[in-house]
Structure 1
């Protein structure tokens, strides 16, 4: 009998272990409360964000609202640029770059404001009675349901706290329960870091109320007003007012708290709303059946999250707390951690960027300071674009919409920036904010970069390549055309080669090494600018043809594109970052701006531009691996595009380097999986999610390439739901021993599906015949034409030999599914 019971207990333990592993597969979980903000767990519904600390005795919910920014509607362009522009260009072309840079400060950079800060609201505190010691502590963030849970035992009583930022109800909802009745007692109050223009009170409806006003900044009056309300519904016990800003619950069986936040923000030009009225409107959703509210929240969230799944296998690491797994990731194989990190990026995008709201900023929507790092602005020379790299590929197209709306709005404001150079169209520089300011900010060393419009337009066109939606294209085409008109007026011929170049500009945020010295950043014709303007012109020509635009306009674009400075291979075989061969092979700068044409651009590839491909690899290798967090996320994408899965994986291990430091530039990942620049920047999370996607499937280079950069460590797996250009959906792909087994692809708009793979393929059991490397007849999959690069006379060149691939063309019908396999179906 004893042996029988031992066997049963053993079986139960094994089953329990499996259940625990399964339950934790999409959870960040910890065995201690958060002490630092970078250990707290993020909740968000696009509009409001909350960081949950999980302290049994003193719980905190740090609160944000997406429109609480300093300042008010304005723009910050500099009218002096018109007069100074010819002289600045002359100085650059004479090699007097330092003098040109000195002139750019007063002539081009904003003389008013450098941009407004994203700000916090405050913190809701719950101070509990009788919880001095506790055991069996556990807290988690379930990213499959977007719910944070804290559980512990104190005085023999088990307490459970659930919190979620409801997507349909637009509230933070907190549920407190205990295993014994009359066991929940606490006081609730707000704090905020604002030192003026704030008010704490109890509303006539017996709610905590915090009224505040965002700050003035750099001479711009702060006009955003906000109101936070907390309603407490207690089941059993009592609720009473204990001061003019504190509520007390005594001896309750359970409690539900509802937090709403309203502001007076209407749009980037209008702040005439009523913050209290908005908060009360959201609070109307409170008090409904908790279970139904929770179910509705999960359903609303999962309509996005459940579109994509990734299974890379699992092991005993899943049984460990998340912060420990981060510490051990570089030394212990943990494939499920990579899958969790991939999905965490999707979670953050869903939670920080909802249709109809604001774009995710430098910190998404999570910030505890009056001035977020770098003001939390939309840094547009890489960071805000990186936020949206996974949007289309990982089936979160709706989450892309707030950013596309930002593009539409800066295109309006950006007419003033174009005008300051006496140009048509629109442009902006390396930063904007909620007010859509478009001037050059942060001084000449960082701000003189008038080419952001080209990068923004790349997002507009790339979205079309995924959907083929001509109604959408008709909506955004005028924005693309306006950006082109700016360059038709702004580009200037440089005297040495007679190329058309952008001047003045710089290569974000790096400076060249000339004769071993770094003395300036302002130059003409940087490689990134050339790549982006060429991308804009080529894409706009394609769009114009679809819009039946007159040929005179497209002919002018083609003529100018033919005279842009080409990409160049420099003296040590690198892709040059500047028009001159100034690259230093010892430069380990975090930005790799000249590799834009490799990713996110489409101009450099193994199969259509092998010389540039090898030069890009040389440059990236020289830059090194470890860097700031977001930079390593970008490098995951770049190494995936270089078809080197093992090196891409190495960058993932570099990014998942543990840290709690909120200063410096050492990179890594915080215990709550936030990306560390340091400090926290959310773009690294999004960049790595995009890079992992590129390791499994790519569709930028004339075909849907399956498993282009699979690392050895992910020997087997299943991925579902990835979107590809051409309107194709990779419904499911399985691989074993590093080789694809099956893939099911749905064609949403029809047309030719071109597949690239490392193995011969069968379609529905019938062997497919490879096609020659001829142009694909699907315009949504066609690569950009490659211009011949210039190669330094002494450049060491070698064209690499790549693993043989097979190319197949499949004619598809709308809505039909196509199952590919590497062996006959009856095998």
Structure 2
């Protein structure tokens, strides 16, 4: 051996020792401080570990030697059904209305279906389905596994798999970068890395092949040098449709070698492997984007930590905006499988609630960006997802986004507004063609376009008129939370006006001088004395219209415009049907004596007035609040029989309502249900107990918890309005409240409450506590002379300065 060879061998030994020393200092099996661990690979894709940047999603199965990472893209909706111009339902509206007035609801519900067949719809049409991009297959030399753990770090967005086998200890990490918009996969270990990397089409079930063959022209995976490519072309095309998509991966090795063999890149004796992937939808498939994608990936840093540092700053700031502490140190290190088993058998612990709160927020943050979350967020492993995994606007998407403002991430809600603003021209067509009105109509289901193409004689959602008004409420709520006047003037108010314009033309005058909402629909319930969901004067429809008109008036007055239009809206409010209470004391779901309530149902649509900001009609009328509480009581009987039951977003909405009713006991019961039965081992959420991957609860769960701890409207802040009785001590940090107030910190311990507030403007607020106030002490800042009376304290918040208060309750 030459002198050079001796020195070089010594150098390699030193490098190996240094590498081992680094691994000795860092425990690859350590659970993240804010994250979770699992002791088993995912049994199917619904239990995968999740990562996402709001545009691309990654689902990590967690198998050491034969790994699959399913990739998704927010725009990959398979063009299965050409968008059709809305049917001329307006020409049949007099017929529909007459049949409803005659009590012939089934016949009325059949008319839109009949009209759709006349106009060539050919049957029941669904939204274009959300489909996976492709699988990344990572195979390594097999050996007996001696130790294993898979994890997600909520703060960095990493999904990790760590194991020890006969070759050494290895860690595989995956994240999807927000700033760089790439999927990053790293493999490192104490031993050499030998294996292969490839792209492949997501497996197709036998029952899905007809669907695949009818809609997908080709799917090709290839490898060349250190590059992987995947190209898929769609069969059906129309103006503006997606024609296919492409994905490119760059394999970077440190040490060893990498070469293309067939459709794989094979790696031999590498110390580290880095795989960078980018997916791009293609609206002109004849012009491949592969070369451009390769050039982009070549411009990326070739260091995992450099890429992670950029991403974790952006993602981490979003995630760390809020923190919940219920004192749950005991049990915080349990595996997700253990958590799910324990909570199914007993009430959820403080540690479980904290972890689920973080997991749910992580899921929604990771799924929001290009679009708001669809039914599956941004993920999916099936070619035929339930309900097409579309955007369902009669409750699902609203619950999914419900936590974004309060958790102080208003920038994420812009994806929701962008989605709707892009579809305004479709919504105008809907209003004109289906109802003969001006303004806009948001249908119940959308994905790639905004036309209402969904007609069914039973689920007669084309008769539901509340979509635009409900959507408009989030535009206005964004203003209430942020005080962004430019947004109010340029985006919120114009959308709200168009939604209100619809009602000016749609409502008719009844014999009592009040407006009649006909047709009407209360999602997705059937009156107990009817065989059809088609209806008259659904309470929800009236509530949405009233809220919209009030918000339009307030916005116009804030902007000092449209004085004459304000008079029109004020007059309309005087003609709205009065809310009614049934013989059993419950608020009626339909404001007519003809239709009877049906409490045996998942939805509580007629409590819409208590979903978010409390309707002033209820706030000022104890009898209506009592009637709403009776609805909750009746629906809870149904839910208790099913121990929570299916359609979890209905439970979340119920918790929103009970929190606003200051019903702490029922809110606690609902949160406990939500914690016990609807979680995968990958800390994703279900639609039903133990089944159907769905992200509604990931939005609704933290929202329910935050609403139990704080409620606000301009000039009013309620602290701990529905505090679960078992939460004797705790703390939450970082909430954003209506009125442009940040709740920097809220801590409670028995009758002692400490709160830190910062207002974006100088304002007087009333602060309410759950019990009578004994004393209020200003610890820091200047809140002026604080006056107290009963449960309330009045204080003056300065602009942009923290105020810390120590409050004792009796």
Name the TM-score, length of structure 1 as normaliser.
0.86
For 1:203 and 1:710, locate their aligned partners in 2 and report how far apart those are by CA, in whole Å. Answer: 57
Gapped regions of structure 1 (runs ≥ 5): 1-18, 659-667, 773-804
Per-residue deviation, 1:729 = 0.3
Report the counterpart of residue 806 of structure 1 in structure 2. Answer: 791
Q: Is 410-419 or 606-615 further displaced after alignment?
A: 606-615
Contact 1:585 1:622 in 2 (8 A): no
Establish whether residue 462 from structure 1 lines up as the match of residue 474 from structure 2.
no
Establish whether residue 362 from structure 1 lines up as the match of residue 375 from structure 2.
yes
Establish whether residue 578 from structure 1 lines up as the match of residue 586 from structure 2.
no
Report the counterpart of residue 728 of structure 1 in structure 2. Answer: 741
Change in 2 beyond 3 A, CA 1:319/1:348 = closer
Contact 1:390 1:690 in 2 (8 A): yes
- Tell me, what secondary structure is at the counterpart of 1:389? coil
Per-residue deviation, 1:763 = 4.1
Q: Residues 430-467 of structure 1: CA distance to partner in whole angstroms, max 9, x if unpaired?
A: 11112233444445623221220000100011111112
* Counterpart selection for 1:226 from 208, 225, 245: 245
Change in 2 beyond 3 A, CA 1:209/1:20 = closer
Report the counterpart of residue 312 of structure 2 in structure 1. Answer: 298
Establish whether residue 623 from structure 1 lines up as the match of residue 639 from structure 2.
no
Q: Superposition pairs for residues 212-291 of structure 1, below 5 Å?
A: 212-214=232-234, 216=236, 223-243=242-262, 245-264=263-282, 275-276=289-290, 279-280=293-294, 282-291=296-305
Report the counterpart of residue 743 of structure 1 in structure 2. Answer: 755
- Tell me, what secondary structure is at the counterpart of 1:151? strand
For 2:731 and 2:32, locate their aligned partners in 1 and report how far apart those are by CA, in whole Å. Answer: 18
Report the counterpart of residue 786 of structure 1 in structure 2. Answer: none
For 1:154 and 1:369, locate their aligned partners in 2 and report how far apart those are by CA, in whole Å. Answer: 32
* Counterpart selection for 1:818 from 777, 780, 803: 803
Per-residue deviation, 1:562 = 1.1
Q: Superposition pairs for residues 318-717 of structure 1, below 5 Å?
A: 318-329=332-343, 331=346, 334-354=349-369, 357-420=370-433, 421-443=435-457, 445-448=459-462, 449-476=464-491, 477-495=493-511, 497-514=512-529, 518-581=530-593, 587-603=599-615, 608-624=620-636, 625=639, 626-628=644-646, 629-658=648-677, 668-678=678-688, 679-700=692-713, 703-717=716-730
Contact 2:84 2:451 in 1 (8 A): yes
- Tell me, what secondary structure is at the counterpart of 2:676? coil
- Tell me, what secondary structure is at the counterpart of 2:460? helix
Contact 2:753 2:807 in 1 (8 A): yes
- Tell me, what secondary structure is at the counterpart of 2:686? coil
Report the counterpart of residue 172 of structure 2 in structure 1. Answer: 161
Contact 2:429 2:451 in 1 (8 A): no
Contact 2:256 2:271 in 1 (8 A): yes
Report the counterpart of residue 801 of structure 1 in structure 2. Answer: none
Change in 2 beyond 3 A, CA 1:34/1:317 = same
Report the counterpart of residue 56 of structure 1 in structure 2. Answer: 64
* Counterpart selection for 1:208 from 228, 231, 251: 228
Change in 2 beyond 3 A, CA 1:614/1:718 = same
For 2:747 and 2:515, locate their aligned partners in 1 and report how far apart those are by CA, in whole Å. Answer: 48
Gapped regions of structure 2 (runs ≥ 5): 1-26, 205-211
Contact 2:149 2:161 in 1 (8 A): yes
Change in 2 beyond 3 A, CA 1:198/1:75 = closer
Number of equivalent positions = 750
Change in 2 beyond 3 A, CA 1:760/1:437 = farther
* Counterpart selection for 1:184 from 194, 209, 228: 194
- Tell me, what secondary structure is at the counterpart of 2:332? helix
* Counterpart selection for 1:137 from 130, 139, 148: 148
- Tell me, what secondary structure is at the counterpart of 2:602? coil
Report the counterpart of residue 9 of structure 2 in structure 1. Answer: none
For 2:408 and 2:187, locate their aligned partners in 1 and report how far apart those are by CA, in whole Å. Answer: 34
For 2:468 and 2:225, locate their aligned partners in 1 and report how far apart those are by CA, in whole Å. Answer: 49
Change in 2 beyond 3 A, CA 1:23/1:199 = closer
Q: Is 432-441 or 478-487 further displaced after alignment?
A: 432-441
Change in 2 beyond 3 A, CA 1:171/1:594 = same
* Counterpart selection for 2:218 from 198, 203, 207: 198
Change in 2 beyond 3 A, CA 1:96/1:585 = closer
For 1:632 and 1:120, locate their aligned partners in 2 and report how far apart those are by CA, in whole Å. Answer: 29
Change in 2 beyond 3 A, CA 1:229/1:756 = same
For 1:579 and 1:212, locate their aligned partners in 2 and report how far apart those are by CA, in whole Å. Answer: 52
For 2:613 and 2:87, locate their aligned partners in 1 and report how far apart those are by CA, in whole Å. Answer: 33
Change in 2 beyond 3 A, CA 1:643/1:513 = same
Change in 2 beyond 3 A, CA 1:49/1:470 = same
Change in 2 beyond 3 A, CA 1:296/1:212 = same
Report the counterpart of residue 798 of structure 1 in structure 2. Answer: none
For 1:567 and 1:711, locate their aligned partners in 2 and report how far apart those are by CA, in whole Å. Answer: 30
Q: Residues 378-424 of structure 1: CA distance to partner in whole angstroms, max 9, x if unpaired?
A: 10111111111111100110110010112212322211011112211
Q: Residues 489-519 of structure 1: CA distance to partner in whole angstroms, max 9, x if unpaired?
A: 0111234x442132212100111111xxx41
Report the counterpart of residue 327 of structure 2 in structure 1. Answer: 313
Contact 1:118 1:375 in 2 (8 A): yes
Q: Superposition pairs for residues 98-113 of structure 1, below 5 Å?
A: 98-107=106-115, 112=121, 113=125
Contact 2:246 2:282 in 1 (8 A): no
Report the counterpart of residue 787 of structure 1 in structure 2. Answer: none
Contact 2:319 2:362 in 1 (8 A): yes
Per-residue deviation, 1:588 = 2.5
Q: Residues 735-765 of structure 1: CA distance to partner in whole angstroms, max 9, x if unpaired?
A: 112x342101001122222211133442425
Change in 2 beyond 3 A, CA 1:616/1:124 = same
Change in 2 beyond 3 A, CA 1:324/1:214 = farther
